[in-house]
Structure 1
Amino acid sequence: MSRPPGQARIEAPVVGLTAGLPGGFRCIAEDPDGDALTYAFDWGRAKAEVSLSERVPSGTAGDVAPVFQTKGQFSARCRAVDTHGQLGAWSEYALFEVHPAPPLDDGKRELTVEVFGHGRVTSTPSGIDCTSTCSARFEVGAEVTLSAEPQPGWRFTGLLRCGTERASQVVRVDHNYHCGAGFARREEQAVEWRQTGASYPSDASWGPDGRLLAVLDQRGTRGGLRIWNAGLGQVARIIHQDSTDIRSVSWGPRDEDLAVGLADGRLALIDPATGALHQTWSAHAGPVVGLAWYARGNELASVSHPETGGAEVRFWAASSGTESRAPLRTARTLRKIHWSPDGARVALEMAGEQVEIHNLDPWVQVHEVGHGDSFSWSPDGARYAVGSYRNVRVYETATHELQASWFGPWSVSSRMDWSPTQDWLVIVDLVHSLTVLNVNTGTVVANGTEVPPNPLDALGFSAVRFHPVHDSFVAVARRPASVSTFSVDAQQSRLQRHELVAHSSAINATKWSPAGDRLASAGDDGKVRLWGAAGQALATLDGHEGKSVRALGWDASGARLASGGADGRVCVWDAGTGRLTQPPLQMMQRAQGHTPKVEHVALSPDGRTLASAGATLFLTGSMTSVQVWDVASRTELLNIPETDSPVVALGWTPDSQSLIIVYTHAAWDVWNRSSGVLKRVESAPEILTTAALSPDGTRLACSDRLGVSVLDVGTGAVVAETPMWMRQLSLAWHPDGTRFSGGGAYQLVFDWQVHEHGQLLPSVMGVHDSTVLGASWRGDGEVLTTGGADMALVTWRAR
């Protein structure tokens, strides 16, 4: 009986091929019976037709010279066929690249602009003018300015791969360029609700009625505002300035009196509803680091620190932007300015633990208080408080006589505020101590001190502000980042805390329950949070020792949620109680001292079986392992110690019988739970960045370097595809299986409609400020929720 040939070896051209010109490939194998061989070449996505070599003796190479028209990077393989039709094993894949035919060198280079969303891009000098994709040739070295104009209801989000963000771009055409322009629907039209984190929150200011809260947040060198609807616990708007950053904030007596100080020395009044600047003026030569409103008037004080040292305080009529008083200059730097309720005085917190109190009419310094770390006026201005190490002193304003001196559990009093409704002071410090003190008796009304997970790495509270109407306040901490509102229960001597920050670092995964009544989010801060359908916070789940959580998965009932983290743990939670249903499962260590970081989890729809994939990192590389357990008995059902390549997705078929394990090299294993059989399916070789299993378990949505595609789970065949140079990092199917959505490093959130004739039609749903890391459709298919490296959790309307 004839035996099949041995495994083939393929040789591809070392240099790239040119479209339209033949290229040489070679295949060689040996036949154990000495039969002559013909070699078959599979070109993957480069070419549908299989190429056959001439028949040659065993052990002799066969050559082919195919011509390719499609440009890009591809993979090829070959196998031998003997004279009896016996097939040998496929060779390893060989990578090759097809380049476009070079144009005649006319001293010009091509600039191609691809438009995503709805808008128009034009260029100066002329040549580019398009709403989809267009190209023009410019002289080598020409500087081309690209300008973007969004369609009504849309906004320009930035140029992609052109070097800068959020602005028109000057491109120097030294070589052929291919870049993009992003447009997204305006947030008021596109966003159902939004939660957000904070990078480095440093100050906060309530709106006049206490409905909105503005928080100053510094992200790297970029300062911005996050405006929360504190009652709903949701972010109403995030405000940044393209050309400069925001350094200070103060909200005046009216909604429209939201003032910010900018790094370029300007003052600005911002419309909190739209984020637009409705008035700006130049105030200082350097950054504006402090602001304070006169509580009942139209006057605003600003602070800057000149390069020559000390501080400069200037006063402004906010309606006109003109100076209302002579400026004040101090020899020492100024940490905070406080305007008295009657507008007659200002108190200056100075460096060196000094507080200066000045009368304004006429201007004169009337008093100085030593050992002062923080300051606050009483609501009527008749008294003021000065805080220091474990001490608060209360003075009469008219005479500056000491009325009381109280000691408490805080260390250095970094910030404090006087309640407008009670004789209470709230005092916070740099070691996360938080105390509500009765000003008249010195008794502690409530204590909200919490020790952070890593005390040595914490920076403590940077701001505290009482609500203008209620017996509650907000406290802001820089690291770990938190913006927390506290309600005071004086009778029970306790505080009820509500955290406004969704996650204090990147959001890695989002997952709606099948019924759409709960959303789970997971972040680098080690937390899993549960949200209601309208975005209300329900619970915080802590089960991963503060280590990054990267994976989530629900069962079909929505009663159980699985999470996987960098601690190697896989947790199963009761979604109703927020408690673990059992002790966490632990992925097996593959090397001593190296814990696998769980990248993917999948809970079977019937809730009986749990799968996880984890990556173990070494100095020389990494390895990925897969484990599957019976949930009830904790028995291990499958263990793959080392996979062929990293896992990009895990998914169960709806009947809970088959687990799909998808690998980066565009192959997947199908594991049958009943039989234990593991079957391999291979598609055209590519490097996948992410994949998602369709609701019916028959198709995979994938992203690779060539674009986005839909593959048949059973055969690996391409069902639909579209070219795209932006690789996606997360994909999620719509519940009806007709579309899928996701995003990646270029921040845009895309939606692809799957058509029967094999086309994928993309559209833009929204945009993040950074990389999109997680995506999930709600069960009713009306909204998509995405999470990103910008700590934003955004729920987008389908249309």
Structure 2
Amino acid sequence: MRQRKRKSRPAQPPLRAVWRTNIDDHPIGLAWSPNGKNLAVAGVSGPITLFNGADGAVRHRLPGHALDTMAISWRKDSRLLASVGQDGKVRLWDVATGMQISEMAGGASWVERVAFSPLGDWLVSAAGRKLRLWNSSGELIREYPDANSTITDIKWRHDGRQFAVSAYNGVVLYDPEEAEPLRRFEWQGSTLTLEWSPNGKYIATGDQDSTVHFWITDTGNDLQMWGYETKVLELAWSFNSRYLATGGGTQVVIWDCSGKGPEKTRPIMVEGHQHLIKHLNFQRQGMLLASGGNDGLLAIWKVGTKKAALLADVVFKAPIACLAWSPDDRCIAVSDESGTLSIAAVRRL
């Protein structure tokens, strides 16, 4: 008996376009709602657009901030979106109605940072040296003493029990239940951005002097990595806390933090971009890393032991402005500086 030859199915491309649009603005913030149903895109001129994540239909156009919107953050239940801007305000938006439900004073003329806690019970904002803590409804809980210099970043630990604040001279840790800082990681330099490892062991920082710091949270000891082309503004941890991907040049530099940590190890060097890398983002529960650069290139890499393999790349007509994986890791949203917004499905590997 002869067996019939089966026709082989054509291989599916790693990326498949889902929908595409243009916001006619320079995007400064791109964030999926935690339930994955909505995608918020903030433009530099102020307005914030809420899209249906599945098909790109516009749900609401929020006025945002009269001057420029600076940052956005979702509450865990996906019902509220927080935004801050150059009008000195923190605003809360009801996603169902598209209406503003609260307006709070940030403490200075510009409010640069805002972040809901992972559990959705706290909201923290930064305006210049001013650091304020709110409850999830927008009531002021606490104003902390002024920071030593302009606050450059705020990030919550993944369990929501602490948040870290960066500025010149290092990083300060806070417990939202306490009025005084928990700990200071001091360093005579300018810290620009920070990221907690998901297991809470490390706080990684990107610095003005073209270095990366690893702060060991239990001891306060630090490791400093040199050799970057420029100041480091791009950091991304893998979900298992093993890898930290860093920018600061045209190559993605990936540190392996397993075992005894990255000290005295050689990082994975990933080539592919022709110009400076602008954004890095690991999947929430996978090992795919997205990188976006000034060359307009979006690249998807599969990170493994001692190597990172290129799975897909797409070139946009302008530098990459923002990128974000969907909560289920099945799609990636990417915007460029011309306002193009593209959502692509990523083939499961």
TM bin (shorter chain): 0.5 to 0.7
Is 1:568 aligned to 2:75, yes or no?
A: no
* Matched ranges for 1:318-717 at <5 A: 500-504=21-25, 506-534=26-54, 536-580=56-100, 582-589=101-108, 595=109, 597-615=110-128, 624-632=129-137, 634-640=139-145, 642-665=146-169, 667-704=170-207, 705-717=209-221
> How far did residue 670 of structure 1 move?
1.6
> How far did residue 611 of structure 1 move?
0.8
Q: Tell me the secondary structure at the aligned position of residue 678 of structure 1.
A: coil
CA gap of 1:684–1:777, structure 2 versus 1, over 3 A, is farther
Kept in 2, the 8 Å contact 1:521–1:528? The answer is yes
> How far did residue 602 of structure 1 move?
0.9
The residue aligned with 1:780 is: 328
Q: Tell me the secondary structure at the aligned position of residue 675 of structure 1.
A: coil
CA deviation string 1:89-109 (max 9, x = no partner): xxxxxxxxxxxxxxxxxxxxx
CA gap of 1:555–1:738, structure 2 versus 1, over 3 A, is farther
Kept in 1, the 8 Å contact 2:211–2:224? The answer is no
The residue aligned with 1:767 is: 293
The residue aligned with 1:725 is: 229
> How far did residue 551 of structure 1 move?
1.0
Kept in 2, the 8 Å contact 1:730–1:772? The answer is no
Q: Give the count of matched residue pairs.
A: 289
- Unaligned regions of 5+ residues in structure 2, if any? 1-11, 273-290, 297-317
Paired residue type of 1:560? L
- TM-score normalised by L of structure 2: 0.68
Separation of aligned partners in 2, 1:656 and 1:627: 16
Percent identical residues: 20
Separation of aligned partners in 1, 2:32 and 2:246: 14
Kept in 1, the 8 Å contact 2:167–2:192? The answer is no
> How far did residue 600 of structure 1 move?
0.8
Kept in 1, the 8 Å contact 2:133–2:176? The answer is no
> How far did residue 523 of structure 1 move?
1.9
- TM-score normalised by L of structure 1: 0.32
CA deviation string 1:271-294 (max 9, x = no partner): xxxxxxxxxxxxxxxxxxxxxxxx
Kept in 2, the 8 Å contact 1:568–1:598? The answer is yes
CA deviation string 1:352-410 (max 9, x = no partner): xxxxxxxxxxxxxxxxxxxxxxxxxxxxxxxxxxxxxxxxxxxxxxxxxxxxxxxxxxx
CA deviation string 1:530-565 (max 9, x = no partner): 334456144344243442112122233333221111
CA deviation string 1:313-365 (max 9, x = no partner): xxxxxxxxxxxxxxxxxxxxxxxxxxxxxxxxxxxxxxxxxxxxxxxxxxxxx
Separation of aligned partners in 2, 1:535 and 1:729: 32
Q: RMSD value over aligned CA atoms?
A: 3.5
Kept in 2, the 8 Å contact 1:526–1:549? The answer is yes
Separation of aligned partners in 2, 1:576 and 1:739: 38
Separation of aligned partners in 2, 1:687 and 1:515: 36
- Unaligned regions of 5+ residues in structure 1, if any? 1-187, 195-231, 235-499, 590-594, 616-623
CA gap of 1:536–1:699, structure 2 versus 1, over 3 A, is farther
CA deviation string 1:749-791 (max 9, x = no partner): 9473534141542435343446555443433345554545443
Separation of aligned partners in 2, 1:712 and 1:655: 17
Separation of aligned partners in 2, 1:741 and 1:524: 27
Paired residue type of 2:106? M
> How far did residue 680 of structure 1 move?
3.3
CA gap of 1:784–1:694, structure 2 versus 1, over 3 A, is farther
The residue aligned with 1:754 is: 256
> How far did residue 716 of structure 1 move?
4.0
Kept in 2, the 8 Å contact 1:525–1:549? The answer is yes
> How far did residue 192 of structure 1 move?
5.1
CA deviation string 1:62-92 (max 9, x = no partner): xxxxxxxxxxxxxxxxxxxxxxxxxxxxxxx
The residue aligned with 2:304 is: none
Deviates more, 1:713-722 or 1:693-702: 713-722
> How far did residue 601 of structure 1 move?
0.3
